[in-house]
Amino acid sequence: MPISYELIAQDEKTGARAGILHTLRGDVLTPVFMPVGTCATVKTVSPDELKELGAQIILSNTYHLYLRPGHELIRDLGGLHKFMNWDRPVLTDSGGFQVFSLADLRKVQEDGVRFQSHIDGSYHFFSPESVMEVEEALGADIIMAFDECSPWPCDIKQVIAALERTERWARRCKEAHKNPSQALFGIAQGGLYKELRLKSTQQIVDLDFPGVAIGGLSIGEPKPLLYEALDYSVPLIPVAKPRYLMGVGSPDCLVEGTARGIDMFDCVMPTRMARNGTCLVPGGRMVLRNAKFERDERPIQEGCGCYACRNFSRAYIRHLLKADEILGIRLTTIHNLYYLTHLMSEMRQAIIDGSFSDFRREFWQQTDSYVR
């Protein structure tokens, strides 16, 4: 088996669980946040820095790597791990979300999706079979099935069509997948219609993938609806399989997703925020570009062990950001990723210690910049 999941502990009052995702390139302690390296790099951060801040596994994007530099080139150069000098696990998404977010640049058909490149307008075609070919060439440890993500809001007929196509494409992906060293995860859809979400989740579970991802959430819907969808769909996923909530990375959603039994998360949010000069801190967010930090000699977060907080002041990092110096966004990126990886490790330890409910309550007591 390319991967297996081992349950270590589970919170008695919630669905939160701590486990180990065993892979051929090492163990991943869960719950885990995966930094996103869209184009085979987490923006502004080196692989060594990712390891230092606690990253265990990263995500790269099939759509972007297919367009540039091309999956065949990456395969010929030894695969994604060698190409980017990362010896820990990698997950590649299928590119489905990127393709379907192109709106007027794509056309969905039963055999696949015809789309135009956002780079040069050239035409391309993704099918379940071709996506498996691309992901196998990239060589990630975990790869995702090609799915159709329905938008929000969306009428029920469109959601039904998307989830039924997602199930048919999942079967085709499974048939086309040939590399035994890669674990292929299926993706459940269903929008925010309970009966459809339950149906799609059960369909993917029945196909017996080694892991199940929950897709089609965190795309603009109110957070209470996201949590409600998790409440009724996560229990359908077998205990022995990792559960992956796609595209979620704000601290509040990480806490609430973990409380509902999710093991894996990813999102571009912390790195994107960092490039805008915004840092994650206990209780909310700190916009370092604000004038009030001009003479502030304190670190971004008191007591934080990240490289940025150990060495530099808010005033200095603000100066770098205002001067458009690259080091500024490198430091804010390092801090945000460190904050999230350590939030996950703290939750894991709380689950093991039997204190997760207390951790969750204390998190919300100090958090005033997020909305449930």
Locate 321 and state its tokens: 């950001």
Higher pLDDT, 104 or 171: 171
Active-site residue flag, 93: yes
293-306 pLDDT tens trace = 999 999 999 999 99
pLDDT digits (tens, 9 = 90+) for 308-339: 999 999 999 999 999 999 999 999 999 999 99
Distance CA 80, CA 135 (A): 10
Name the one residue in this structure whose structure tokens are 């840092």: 279
20 strand-pairing partners: 6, 29
**pLDDT at position 369, please?**
53
Residue 370 has pLDDT above 80, yes or no: no
Rounded to an integer, the average pLDDT of 269-290 is 96
Residue 104 has pLDDT above 80, yes or no: no
> Omega of the bond prior to 69 within 30 degrees of 0, cis?
yes
- What pLDDT, on the 0 to 100 scale, is given for residue 40? 98
The pLDDT assigned to 107 comes to 87
Q: What is the dihedral of CA 83, 211, 213, 159, to 10 degrees?
A: 120
- Say which residues have a Cβ less than 8 Å from residue 118's Cβ, sequence separation at least 6: 102, 105
- For residue 312, which of 324, 337, 290, 329 has the smallest C-alpha distance? 329
At residue 356 the predicted structure's pLDDT band, cuts being 50, 70 and 90, is: very high
Per-residue model confidence as pLDDT tens digits over 15-52: 999 999 999 999 999 999 999 999 999 999 999 999 99
- Identified catalytic residue from 11, 48, 93, 263: 93
pLDDT of residue 372: 36
Are the C-beta atoms of 201 and 190 separated by less than 8 Å?
A: yes
DSSP label of 37: -
pLDDT of residue 106: 85
Q: For residue range 221-260, what is the model confidence (pLDDT) as tens digits?
A: 999 999 999 999 999 999 999 999 999 999 999 999 999 9
Enter the DSSP assignment of 298: S
Q: Please name each of the domains of the chain with its CATH number.
A: 3-267 (3.20.20.105), 272-362 (no CATH)
Annotated active-site residue in 11, 252, 263, 266: 266
The first and second tokens of residue 126, run together, are 């993704």
103 Cβ neighbours under 8 A, 6+ residues apart: none
Report which DSSP code applies to 369. S
> Which of 104 and 167 is assigned the larger pLDDT?
167
Determine whether 40 is exposed, middle or buried from the number of CB atoms within 10 Å of its CB (0-12, 13-18, 19+). buried
Active site residue 252: no
Sole residue written with tokens 């229990």: 235
Asked if residues 141 and 25 have their Cβ atoms less than 8 Å apart, the reply is: yes
State percent of the chain over pLDDT 70: 98
Whether the model pTM is above 0.85: yes
